[in-house]
Amino acid sequence: MFIKRLAIAFCVISAMCFNTFSSCKKPKVTPTPVDTTTVQPQVDPALANTIGFFMDDWEAKNFTTPTSFTNIAAPTASGVTVTIDRSNVITKIPRSIAGNNSNIWMTQIVTEADLMDYITALHPHIIRFPGGSISDVFFWNAQANTPPADAPSQLIAANGTSSAAGFWYGKNTASWTFSVDNYYNMLQQTGNQGMITINYGYARYGTGTNPVAAAAHLAADWVRYDNGRTKYWEIGNENFGDWEAGYRIDVANNKDGQPEYLSGAVYGQHFKVFADSMKKAAQQIGKTIYIGAVTSESAPLSWWTTTAKNWNSGLFANAGNTPDYYIVHNYYTDYQTNATVDHILGTPQTVTQTMMDYVKQSISNVGLTQKPVVLNEWNITSSGSKQQVSHINGMHAVMVLGEALKNKFGMTSRWDMANGWSNGDDHGMFNIGDEPDGVPKWNARPAFYHMYFFQKYLGDRLVSSTSTSADIVSYASSFSSGETAVALLNKGTDSKSVEIGFKNFKKGSRFYWYTLTGGDDNGDFSRKTFVNGSGPAYASGGPANYKTITPNSALTTEGVRVIVPARSSVFVVVAK
């Protein structure tokens, strides 16, 4: 009986199995879609000679995938498309692209923990010293109020009037200034390198029998003292300008027959003397240095002085190929005008390209070798509405860096870390201690946050990107670890939904982004920057916890889309 029941049960089970699987021997499985995107490998272009040796310390960058993030629903529709071709490499990105300027009135900052932390986090890579025009009245190895015996007590201004020389001294340890040794200390603390501007003015106003040799010897002594800590040097600052010490000299006190007014030709002749002395000093200590020459950045204008109009032609004819690189400065907006947002944000794209094109063409016209070009002072000079300390100037800073990369500058250095409030007409990235409204000393201004997050989400290669909207400016890059990044800046007054499309890239499952917006204070020129909605505790600046703010994130399955608010910066990384 048991066997009979077992047999019946077996038959029932067999029938059930047969009925279940009779139509198909294997269960149906929906196949996982295969990404059939064709990816052409990246091919690096030839190294641009306008970058040159500034690429020597290039490093691959690997993106660290966030372990925590804030899930945000990406917009379902887009009005603007930005297309990135990851295989179209414009240039590898030199580490020197986002440098900064220190100066010798920013105090002995090495004990200022907050500032040291900001500089370390920002990591400009190169920090210039001792400043702009002060460089031409700076004696690096002199004690306070102890100039060389052949330095005159009075200097001649462009209009012929005389006034106290007002020299500055590298061994002055007073609290209000910044000594040479503390400059080196700051670089060591923050992990950055230097760029040093030599006192060229001394070669003009010096009263000794051979002022050029004396000034060149002083420069060479600094090279020896530096002992290889600094690779990049420049001779003078904006010496074509009638505001610089040495532009006009008292010929009665000059003993080597120099003309009353400086010219590019005289500077070019003197440059070779400086370069020879400094290079020999470097060889003696077994170090390699590069020396840059002051260069005019644009075609002459009718109101310029004769010196300025003929600067480049005289420099190139007399210095020849001696300079290792060429230096330009640019403050982008019209001098001290109350410029609008549209004017300010309209300058980086046009001005940066025009500047590089002019310098390259000027060098080509005289048959000289193209050399690296650096923009080691830049900012805006707009004034009257606190433009210089605004969120808008932070956006402008990102655009300058992006355009400098596109135009293949070897290095840029923003002017400057700390300056003076002057009712908001302050180039300083940090409050030197005189900003009103209870803002603490060394509080970071909006430009800091924009440059910090731009670099955080910037890869090691700039790749091509195009936008369907004139309001949305994009700068795309790739990481060696495989991710693709893009900075999106909305110059317009309306929020935009932006879809990011790709060529030659298989996107991963997620993308991450930070959104930087201004506040509702001070009209168009907010002194505040908010990062993913987190803002400052004070009347200006950004969030104190900027390092630990989690990125926003969304899945890529429905497309890579972000909202770019009016007049904001958004920094995106898409996983591989």
Strand partners, 487: 475, 571
DSSP-based helix, strand, coil % in the chain, nearest 5: 30, 20, 50
Domain span at 220: 125-323
Residue 328 lies inside a defined structural domain of this protein = no
- Would residue 191 be called left, alpha or beta, if left means φ above 0 and alpha means ψ between -120 and 50 degrees? left
311: how many CB neighbours lie within 10 A of its CB? 25
Rounded to whole angstroms, the Cα distance separating 476 from 505 reads 13
Residue 526 lies inside a defined structural domain of this protein = no
> Which tens digits make up the pLDDT trace of 460-508?
999 999 999 999 999 999 999 999 999 999 999 999 999 999 999 999 9
Residue 448 lies inside a defined structural domain of this protein = no
Tally of domains within the chain: 1
Residue 177 lies inside a defined structural domain of this protein = yes
Q: Please list, in sequence order, all residues whose beta carbon lies within 8 angstroms of the beta carbon of residue 440, skipping any fewer than 6 positions away.
A: 431, 538
Written in H, E and C, the secondary structure of 180-197 is HHHHHHHHHHHCCEEEEE
Q: Please list, in sequence order, all residues whose beta carbon lies within 8 angstroms of the beta carbon of residue 403, skipping any fewer than 6 positions away.
A: 348, 349, 352, 353
Q: Provide the residue type at 55 as one letter.
A: M
129, 109, 270: which is closest to 196 by C-alpha? Answer: 129
Rounded to whole angstroms, the Cα distance separating 348 from 405 reads 12
Tell me if residue 116 falls in helix, strand or coil.
helix
Rounded to whole angstroms, the Cα distance separating 528 from 437 reads 13
End-to-end CA gap in the chain: 66
> Which tens digits make up the pLDDT trace of 251-289?
999 999 999 999 999 999 999 999 999 999 999 999 999
Residue 405 token pair: 């990369």
pLDDT along the chain (576 residues), means of 10: 38 38 43 67 97 98 97 93 98 98 98 98 98 97 98 98 98 98 98 98 98 98 98 98 98 98 98 98 98 98 97 98 98 96 98 98 97 98 98 98 98 98 98 98 98 98 98 98 98 98 98 98 98 98 98 97 98 98
Residue 418 lies inside a defined structural domain of this protein = no
Q: Please list, in sequence order, all residues whose beta carbon lies within 8 angstroms of the beta carbon of residue 521, skipping any fewer than 6 positions away.
A: 527, 528, 539
Q: Please list, in sequence order, all residues whose beta carbon lies within 8 angstroms of the beta carbon of residue 60, skipping any fewer than 6 positions away.
A: 460, 480
Question: Residues 328, 359: contact at Cβ < 8 Å?
Answer: yes
Q: Provide the residue type at 117 as one letter.
A: D
- What is the DSSP code string of 14-42? HHHHHHHHTT-SS---PPPPP-----PPP
266, 135, 269: which is closest to 202 by C-alpha? Answer: 135
Question: Residues 504, 39: contact at Cβ < 8 Å?
Answer: yes
**Parallel/antiparallel/unpaired status of strands 461-467 and 472-478:** antiparallel
* 150, 412, 523 from 378: Cα distances, Å: 34, 8, 25
* 14, 105, 110, 111, 196 from 183: Cα distances, Å: 87, 12, 8, 12, 10
Quote the pLDDT of residue 380: 98
Quote the pLDDT of residue 128: 98
Residue 522 lies inside a defined structural domain of this protein = no
Residue 359 lies inside a defined structural domain of this protein = no
Residue 100 token pair: 């900064």
Question: Residues 136, 245: contact at Cβ < 8 Å?
Answer: yes
Q: Please list, in sequence order, all residues whose beta carbon lies within 8 angstroms of the beta carbon of residue 304, skipping any fewer than 6 positions away.
A: none
**Parallel/antiparallel/unpaired status of strands 99-101 and 126-129:** parallel
Residue 297 token pair: 């950045």
Rounded to whole angstroms, the Cα distance separating 234 from 294 reads 7
CA of residue 279 relative to chain centroid, distance: 28
Quote the pLDDT of residue 38: 84
Question: Residues 531, 516: contact at Cβ < 8 Å?
Answer: yes
Quote the pLDDT of residue 360: 98
Q: Please list, in sequence order, all residues whose beta carbon lies within 8 angstroms of the beta carbon of residue 354, skipping any fewer than 6 positions away.
A: 298
- Would residue 423 be called left, alpha or beta, if left means φ above 0 and alpha means ψ between -120 and 50 degrees? left
Quote the pLDDT of residue 37: 76
Pinpoint the alpha helices (H) of 104-149: 113-122
Question: Residues 64, 104: contact at Cβ < 8 Å?
Answer: no
Rounded to whole angstroms, the Cα distance separating 117 from 107 reads 16
